Amino acid sequence: MSYDMSGMPVGGVQAPSSTQQQSRYPQLDSILRTEEGFKNSIQYTGGTDSAISIVLVVAVLALVWNLIDTFKALSNAHVKVADYFWQVFFIVEGTSGKVDPVLWCEVWLPIIAIPVLVVLLVVRKATRGSSVTKILDKYRQAGFLAELVTTGINIRVNNNMQGPVCLIGPPNIQADLVTAAAQRMTACALSDPKSREAKDYLKAVSRVVTRGFGTHAYLAKTADPSLPDGIYVTGQGRGTVNVPVRIAIPAGSDFTSLRLYALKKTAPLA
């Protein structure tokens, strides 16, 4: 299945000029080019943020599981919870009298997590500013504000990650051409969804957008060779397209992929 994309620009991908970029979102672009405005507008999650989330999840799960085991044991023993709660809560020995690894984790992981979280929070506070500043520098050099144009295609990565496939046209690509490309992608995938061609098309799109779901965009012709250079495709989480603009920064010098950063809802889209 192929479509004639005549009228769409083809050729090498190039960085949009600052004049082209400011023509779409002049107020927001002006704010983002200041360090304070950029830090206040970007939704940034670094490696430390991910580590904090993991530690919190593990600690909470261990704590909840220990509480469940403690209340079960006290209930089976028919004793007052207040009298024996802490003694049972801190038990790490199994029925054999030896330390049970599971019980040990239930008791000590939440406790160990406290100083670990303190250290991670300190590191996050100390490094976040410099990390965001590096992103700002890249934005000033070759980044632009990318508007998401949704297609009718939805992609499921797993139970927690699903959402629409979107196209992105840099400011040096006319918006109506991106809209036309999105409509044609939808037609390829959904005009006859049970056909072999449509299924193969969906698989090709899925292979591309799931590589960097929510955080990256790739040249759309990687998924559909009939689409021209200069238009990118990305998969975005359901609900995240409520703010349909991303900070887009080339992931490499060849402009074949973009690193996308979401904006806070308070960012002025003007």
- Listed residues 92, 127, 162: the one ending a domain: 127
Question: DSSP secondary structure string, 178-191?
Answer: HHHHHHHHHHHHHS
Is 8's pLDDT higher than 90? no
* Residue 216: per-residue pLDDT: 93
Mark whether 238 and 181 lie in a shared domain: yes
32 in Cβ contact with 139 (< 8 Å) = yes
Give the H or E element holding residue 268: none
CA distance 12 to 158: 34
Mark whether 115 and 174 lie in a shared domain: no
Look at 83-97, 182-196, 201-215 and tell me which has the smallest mean pLDDT. Answer: 83-97
* Residue 270: per-residue pLDDT: 60
Tell me, yes or no, whether 3 lies in a domain: no
Mark whether 60 and 122 lie in a shared domain: yes
Cα distances from 224 to residues 206, 251, 258, in angstroms, run 11, 21, 17
Mark whether 248 and 201 lie in a shared domain: yes
Mark whether 166 and 249 lie in a shared domain: yes
Q: Which residue has the tokens 């927690």?
A: 160
Tell me, yes or no, whether 32 lies in a domain: no
- Listed residues 127, 155, 181: the one ending a domain: 127
107 compared with 46, residue with greater pLDDT: 107
Mark whether 252 and 189 lie in a shared domain: yes
The token pair at 48 is 């430390």
Count: domains in the chain: 2
Domain span at residue 76 reads 47-127
Closest to 258 in 3D by CA, of 16, 4, 1: 16
126 compared with 159, residue with greater pLDDT: 126
Identify the three-state secondary structure at position 95.
coil
- Mean predicted confidence (pLDDT) in 227-234: 90
Kindly report the pTM of this predicted structure: 0.67
* Residue 208: per-residue pLDDT: 93
Q: Which residue has the tokens 């989330």?
A: 53
CA distance 202 to 138: 33
- Listed residues 68, 100, 127: the one ending a domain: 127
Highest mean pLDDT among 14-23, 42-51, 56-65, 221-230: 56-65
Tell me, yes or no, whether 7 lies in a domain: no
- Mean predicted confidence (pLDDT) in 110-126: 88
| Residue 144 bridge partners (DSSP) | 248
- Mean predicted confidence (pLDDT) in 131-142: 87
Sign, CA torsion 52/239/189/168: negative
Is 9's pLDDT higher than 70? no
Mark whether 97 and 161 lie in a shared domain: no
Mark whether 148 and 254 lie in a shared domain: yes
CA–centroid distance for 231 within its chain: 20
Tell me, yes or no, whether 119 lies in a domain: yes
Alpha helices, H only, 78-100: 81-89
